[in-house]
Amino acid sequence: MRDPRERLRDMLEAIANIERYAVRGRDAFERDELLQSWLVRNLQIIGEAARALPQDMRVQAPAVPWSKIMGMRNILVHDYFGIELAVLWDAVEHDLPMLKQEIELLLDALERRAGV
């Protein structure tokens, strides 16, 4: 089993991957299938990493909507024909900045406790 800190780093790496291409803007995202697939894949990684975090880790970051993140992952993996691009873009624009900040805080706290 992977260390929870590794899962949090996975989430931060996926967020960075999304940020790298999100700067192209919504229009580019809506026109580019590869960009859409890239974003979906990285959102799946975030959801899978969140799902794999122990519950005691998740309660340490109550501002993070863990159930919504895992729910989105389930939709992206199992209901891919039901994916709405507007919902994905909204998550990128409005939810990822807060998620990034919360994950960084949680990871920092865990590393301080571990003496890293």
From the list 98, 36, 20, 109, the residue with the least C-alpha distance to 66 is: 98
The reply to whether 78 belongs to the active site is yes
From the list 63, 86, 66, the residue with the least C-alpha distance to 74 is: 66
- Selecting among 9, 26, 78, 113, the annotated active-site residue is 78
CA distance 29 to 39: 9
- Selecting among 5, 24, 26, 73, the annotated active-site residue is 73
DSSP 8-state code for residue 81: G
Active site residues: 73, 78
